[in-house]
Structure 1
Amino acid sequence: MALTVDKLMNDERFSGDNVLQFLLYLPFGILLLVVRLLLALVLWVASIILPNKSGVRQMLSTLACWTFGVYVKLKGTRDPRCSVMVANYVSCLDSLAASHVLGTISLRKWKVPPFFASTLGIRNAAQFVRKQHFAECPSKPVLLQPEGGPTNGKGLLKFTDWPCPLGNRVQPVAISVERMFTNVTVHGGDGRSSFPWRDALWFLCTPLTVYSLRLLPPVQRHDDDDAAMASNLSAAIAEALQIERTEFKWEELRPRGRAPPPRGGGAGDVTTLARQVKEVLPAVPIHDILRDLAKTRSVDVTITNFLEGVTPYTPEDTTEPRPSTSKPRYVTPAPTGVFPKSAKERQLSFQERKAQMIAEAKKRYIEKNGLNLALNNC
């Protein structure tokens, strides 16, 4: 029997006889909630005063797992050549589970306090894109979840063919989650840019939430475009979880008529936000940026939407013709949304940037020392 949209969502926290079972457990759940709230306070203080080092981050990640009652089981071996990992989407704490055992970095999807985002293994999208390229950080792989939103695990939403550079080798990760008494994710009226605090609260009062992360063999890109690559990754995860792939998109699962009200001022504020997004993603047309900002009212969320392909767009040509007499100038390249597929094209791009750097350095040296160009050329 084919899956329908309603079968991919949980609209109720309880099902079957779980309500009666949970009522019997409730006194212990309240006590556990109080203890974990104290742990959350310790976690908040520690994240502020402790230095941002790898050992400290691992300790905070462990403390966060204790706070939310998260236990992670890992199967398979991580491929060190893969700097990008792609997973299905099952809950608001997927990033915490993956960060704890794999050291991954996820792009920020919601408006949450900075210390909370860092503890969950979430990075500010704008800062991350400026400082690190996806294909140049193998020790800290990036975790992408191209479904766009969580389901109940009975099926797989259609993966978006995100336009950000994926690299030629991507490792899929199959995530499944189990919990007593209650459903992990319930689709309510929260907007996509708002963290699902109600789901997170139930993590605190339930005894244990078990995540199973299965690392699958890497998927190699040959002559595949982004859409074919996304389909191959989706097929690998669906086969590992033994669930059905669907053609439904995340927008079809979201409750209708419950979009979050816009925050902030008028058109001037949106224009300012749009300029910030344009600085990070110059290839994205401004009208697409404005359309997405009208929904999210967040620079981070909008950038993440474009990077993960949640919001599709047609890249603009950002190259500008320059006269041959112009002096070479090096400009730090920004993500363009288009990643050269062949090694020859990538090497050519690198050589061009290298030549620009050398020419600019030579020009500064000549001007600083007042050298005679005509004499030097003899």
Structure 2
Amino acid sequence: METRGIEQMFDFQRLPNDGLVLLLVLLYSPVGLCLMLLRLFVGAHVFLVSCALPDSFARRFIVRIMFSVLGMHVRQNSPRLRDKSTKLYICNHVTQFDHNIVNLLTSCNTPMLEDSAGFVCWARGFMELGAISGQDEIDESLRRYCSSPETLPLLLFPEEDTTNGRAGLLKFSSWPFSMTDSIQPVALQVKRPFVALSTPDSFWLTELLWTFFVPCTVYHVRWLPPVSRQDEESFQEFANKVQELLATELSVVSTQITKADKAEHIKRKRHIAPQTTTSNLGARPRPVPLGFMIRSSGVEELRISRMAQQVKEVLPDIPLGIITRDLVQTNCVDTTITNLLESTEEFPVEATGGATSAPGPAWRSLSSSAAPAPTIKPAAKSFGKSPVDRHLSLQERKEALYEFARRRYIEKHELEQDETSEQDLIAGKRVRNDDRC
């Protein structure tokens, strides 16, 4: 299967980037707000009508007309291909209201798998499963439902999450295909002007308001012929085959990206701040390194400092300034640790002074020092090939660290060379004995 970039499969912002289209949205906003208020009033009547009338062709026809007033236009291709004996419809997932759209064309039920049951579940048109917890119990309950001849067909979304419908399909889960050996694929395409169809982690009520705001949202449903599972096929192979059929019908690609991959990508995108581009830096040295985004709030500075100390406990060899810089961008301890471990940059060795710094922003102490602290360069420019060379390189590095710490101690306490020579000799012997151990 071809793998399409995960960024292309989801819309992470509602409004467009194009300046001309954004200007049109701003000009349309007063009309859209009035239209949204009017459609909220009409939508309440649509809900009452759908609750009052029994499930029949007349009810679906009336509600479909009223949905058009709400801006949700439904079209379908090849309705004769719909098999009335099929107990399971498999459809790709684009919006929060896909099950309502398909239910306007044929009677079917979609179970609520994640959110709690109750009035909202019933009002949105989902089927309640009762007090069932665990995937095994859900599978067994849905199998019994499909095996009953009096029940309506099931409509399931094996992607388990929404996409923008333009680039590719999420990997189909295998559990929906274990319900029955024969299924009917349903291809769904959704188009809307100006704004995105959905954004990750958006609440369904927010999606409904945006649907009422835009002029229209067109749902195009295409029925595909029923597909049966072969005897030698596993459930996952059957799912992959149906995924390929739907991807071909929709002119997109079938990917191996799962719902968990989408959630992980959203989590990373939420923690990593957008990179800010800087221009015309000039040759004058800056007191604060690039990338340090200093927060004026004292509470924020203390929080960053505490997070930096947590990272420092895990990675003691990384300078505190570099840790702080990454934390300002990521705002997450785990992400910073991952970034520093995966970084190929060679960090300068941080000297361990006699006194620890008080809690506070690390970048303040870096920029306020009058004289720049001497940096320690690695003693060996290349990694030794023999154990002897590697041992010598390590010994030279330790000697350099010891000499640097000695100078810092003398400068800090303003001691004379003669007063500290005896202490240095004792400390040097102790360090060398530790090195041999």
Partner of 1:241: 250
DSSP 3-state at the match of 1:176: strand
Amino acid at match of 1:3: R
Q: Which of 62, 65, 68 is the aligned partner of 2:64?
A: 62
Q: Which of 246, 249, 252 is the aligned partner of 2:261?
A: 252
2-structure distance, mates of 1:130, 1:151: 25
2-structure distance, mates of 1:39, 1:114: 24
1:143 correspondence with 2:159: no
Amino acid at match of 2:104: H
1:14-42 C-alpha deviation (Å, 9 max, x unpaired): 22232111112112111111111111232
Contact 1:11-1:186 within 8 A present in 2 as well: yes
Partner of 2:8: 7
Q: Which of 176, 196, 213 is the aligned partner of 2:221?
A: 213
Q: Which of 160, 170, 176 is the aligned partner of 2:173?
A: 160
Contact 1:234-1:245 within 8 A present in 2 as well: yes
Partner of 2:87: 83
| 1:106-145 matched pairs, under 5 angstroms | 106-109=110-113, 111=115, 117-118=121-122, 120-126=124-130, 129=141, 133-137=145-149, 140-145=152-157
1:34 correspondence with 2:37: yes
Give, in angstroms, the shift of residue 219 of structure 1: 0.9
Give, in angstroms, the shift of residue 211 of structure 1: 0.6
1:147-178 C-alpha deviation (Å, 9 max, x unpaired): 01001111011001016742221000111100
Amino acid at match of 2:13: E
Q: Which moved more, 1:55-64 or 1:16-25?
A: 55-64
Partner of 2:74: 72
Contact 2:74-2:221 within 8 A present in 1 as well: yes
Change (3 A) 1:219 1:27: same
Q: Which moved more, 1:101-110 or 1:89-98?
A: 101-110
Change (3 A) 1:173 1:150: same
Amino acid at match of 1:35: L
Q: Which moved more, 1:88-97 or 1:125-134?
A: 125-134
Same amino acid, percent of matched pairs: 25
2-structure distance, mates of 1:6, 1:220: 33
Return the TM-score normalized by structure 2. Answer: 0.52
Q: What stretches of structure 2 of length at least 5 have no aligned partner?
A: 132-137, 271-437
1-structure distance, mates of 2:142, 2:249: 34
Give, in angstroms, the shift of residue 56 of structure 1: 7.5
Q: How many residues align?
A: 253
Contact 2:3-2:254 within 8 A present in 1 as well: no
Partner of 2:394: none
2-structure distance, mates of 1:235, 1:85: 16
1-structure distance, mates of 2:148, 2:38: 41
Contact 1:172-1:237 within 8 A present in 2 as well: yes
Change (3 A) 1:238 1:137: farther
2-structure distance, mates of 1:63, 1:171: 26
Change (3 A) 1:82 1:58: same
2-structure distance, mates of 1:163, 1:207: 35
Amino acid at match of 1:151: T
Contact 1:83-1:136 within 8 A present in 2 as well: no
1:18 correspondence with 2:27: no
Contact 2:60-2:104 within 8 A present in 1 as well: yes
Change (3 A) 1:131 1:43: farther
Amino acid at match of 2:72: V
Partner of 1:318: none
2-structure distance, mates of 1:109, 1:163: 12
Return the TM-score normalized by structure 1. Answer: 0.60
Q: Which of 156, 162, 177 is the aligned partner of 2:190?
A: 177
Amino acid at match of 1:209: T
Contact 1:10-1:187 within 8 A present in 2 as well: yes
1:268-313 C-alpha deviation (Å, 9 max, x unpaired): xxxxxxxxxxxxxxxxxxxxxxxxxxxxxxxxxxxxxxxxxxxxxx
Give, in angstroms, the shift of residue 197 of structure 1: 2.1
Higher RCO (C-alpha 8 Å, min separation 6):
1
Contact 1:83-1:138 within 8 A present in 2 as well: no
Cα RMSD over matched residues? 3.0
